[in-house]
């Protein structure tokens, strides 16, 4: 079993839809949770990060962490065709060297 599981998709939605992207994890020591957006043939771009539990909002994006269920989510409101990309979740414990463990990414397609 992988430490971080993420559905590869693709997830296809119409423009304006609310998108929910999710990751599950098995290591209860994870404290930092990050979401990256990666366009084709480009490097990942940090979207949001949260520490421990709770929600964080930034414009159309909301990140949620449920540590009791070992489940994190990224919500995108009013999705746009420009949101079409692969979304990677990443996690880290808060000990010494901060190694990141990545999900394999979910491909999102937003159609006009």
The binding site for other proteins (CB under 8 A) comprises 8, 32, 34, 36, 41-46, 49, 88, 90, 92, 94, 97-100, 102-105
Distance of alpha carbon 112 from alpha carbon 105, whole angstroms: 23
Q: State in angstroms the smallest separation of the CB of 104 from other proteins.
A: 4
Which residue, 7 or 17, has its beta carbon nearer to other proteins? 7
Which residue, 35 or 83, has its beta carbon nearer to other proteins? 35
Q: State in angstroms the smallest separation of the CB of 7 from other proteins.
A: 12
List the one residue out of 49, 64, 38, 40 whose CA is nearest residue 100: 49
Q: State in angstroms the smallest separation of the CB of 61 from other proteins.
A: 16
Distance of alpha carbon 45 from alpha carbon 35, whole angstroms: 9
Q: State in angstroms the smallest separation of the CB of 14 from other proteins.
A: 27
List the one residue out of 56, 72, 58 whose CA is nearest residue 3: 72
């Amino acid at each position: 079993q992988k430490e971080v599981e993420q559905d590869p998709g693709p997830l296809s939605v119409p423009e304006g839809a609310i998108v929910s992207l999710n990751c599950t994890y098995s290591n209860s020591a994870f404290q930092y949770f990050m979401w990256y957006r990666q366009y084709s043939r480009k490097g990942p771009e940090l979207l949001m990060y949260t520490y421990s539990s709770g929600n964080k909002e930034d414009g159309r994006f909301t990140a949620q962490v449920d540590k009791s269920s070992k489940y994190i989510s990224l919500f995108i409101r009013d999705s746009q065709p420009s949101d079409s990309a692969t979304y990677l979740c990443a996690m880290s414990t808060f000990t010494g060297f901060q190694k990141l463990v990545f999900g394999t990414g979910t491909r999102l397609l937003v159609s006009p």
